[in-house]
Amino acid sequence: MDTTDTKKSEVLTDGMLLTAEQLIRDVPDFPRPGIMFKDITPVLSSPKAMREIIDRFAEFVLPRKPTAIVGIESRGFVFGMPLAYELGLPFVPVRKMGKLPYKTIHEEYDLEYGTNTVEMHEDAISTGDRVIVVDDLLATGGTANAAKRLVERLGGTVEGFTFLVELGFLHGRLALAHEDILSLITYN
Ligand code: AMP
């Protein structure tokens, strides 16, 4: 028997957290020296892990009675869109500056060095919308907070956030200052 296959099937029959942890690849010094990049592409190539992640997200999100799912470019799309599809909800993309074709509103946020800007179409959220913000990873919380501000400027409320990974040592959870934050794997 091929031992690689055996190992893989053992990983996939374990609990979800172990499965996903085994499937997240640490890439040192990407995109810059000193950054440990959490590469989630192995998760995307495991249908079982993806199924479990989207199911866990849906379980958390449903009681919050959302009317829309907001995903943050670009890895927030790959978790946000299947969640929206699963729940039968509209999906709203938040994108980097200059990518959305129609009229937009934008929000700037701080990075370690400099700033970044994200945008949303101005008709993407309506007054009273109850929104869940989805991304692959919570680091300092700057990106997710900018997405929240976009939703609120259009009259919506953020009812929760979901992330696959949380870098606990960067305290993004404190920065978001929200009661309803789900992350499936935390690195401390
Ligand atoms: P932040 O705004 O600091 O919470 O950063 C979160 C955003 O940056 C997410 O869209 C992540 O995909 C990305 N990101 C930040 N740090 C990492 C990391 N170490 N590995 C992978 N993605 C990261």
Query: What per-residue confidence (pLDDT) applies to 98?
Result: 97
- The atom number, within ligand 1, closest to the CA of 73 reads 10
Q: What is the pLDDT of residue 36?
A: 93
Q: What CATH class does 10-187 carry?
A: alpha beta
Q: Which residues pair with 120 in a beta bridge?
A: 105
According to the model, what pLDDT value does residue 22 have? Answer: 80
**Cα of 10 from ligand 1 centre, angstroms:** 29
Q: How high is the pLDDT of residue 132? A: 98
- The CA distance from 61 to 59, in Å, is 6
The DSSP element (H or E) to which 133 belongs, if any, is: strand 130-138
Q: Which residue's C-alpha comes closest to atom 17 of ligand 1?
A: 37
pTM here is 0.92
Residue 29 near residue 15, CB atoms below 8 Å: no
Token pair, residue 100, equals 């959305």
Nearest CA among 84, 53, 52 for reference residue 66: 84
Q: Which residues in 53-124 belong to E strands, given as ranges?
A: 68-72, 91-96, 104-110, 115-121
Query: 166 an active-site residue?
Result: no
Q: What is the pLDDT of residue 4?
A: 38
Locate tokens 């989630």: which residue? 40
Ligand 1, pocket-test mutation among 78, 143, 178, 187, most atoms within 8 A of CB: 143
Task: Decide: 27 in ligand 1 pocket, CB within 6 A.
Answer: no
Residues sharing a CB contact under 8 Å with residue 155, sequence separation 6 or more, in sequence order: 125, 126, 127, 128, 129
Task: Write down the pLDDT at residue 16.
Answer: 62
Type of residue at 144: A
Tokens of 106: 């934008």
- Give me the half-sphere count of Cα atoms (radius 13 Å) on the Cβ side of residue 145: 17
- Residue whose pair of structure tokens reads 């959870």 in the numeric block: 173
Domain boundaries, the chain: 10-187
Residue 112 a catalytic site member: yes
pLDDT attached to residue 17: 63
Catalytic residue among 75, 107, 119, 166: 75
Taken as a whole, the chain contains a residue count of 188
For the chain, 188 residues long, the average pLDDT of each consecutive 10-residue run is 38 56 90 93 91 95 98 98 98 98 97 89 98 97 98 98 96 96 94
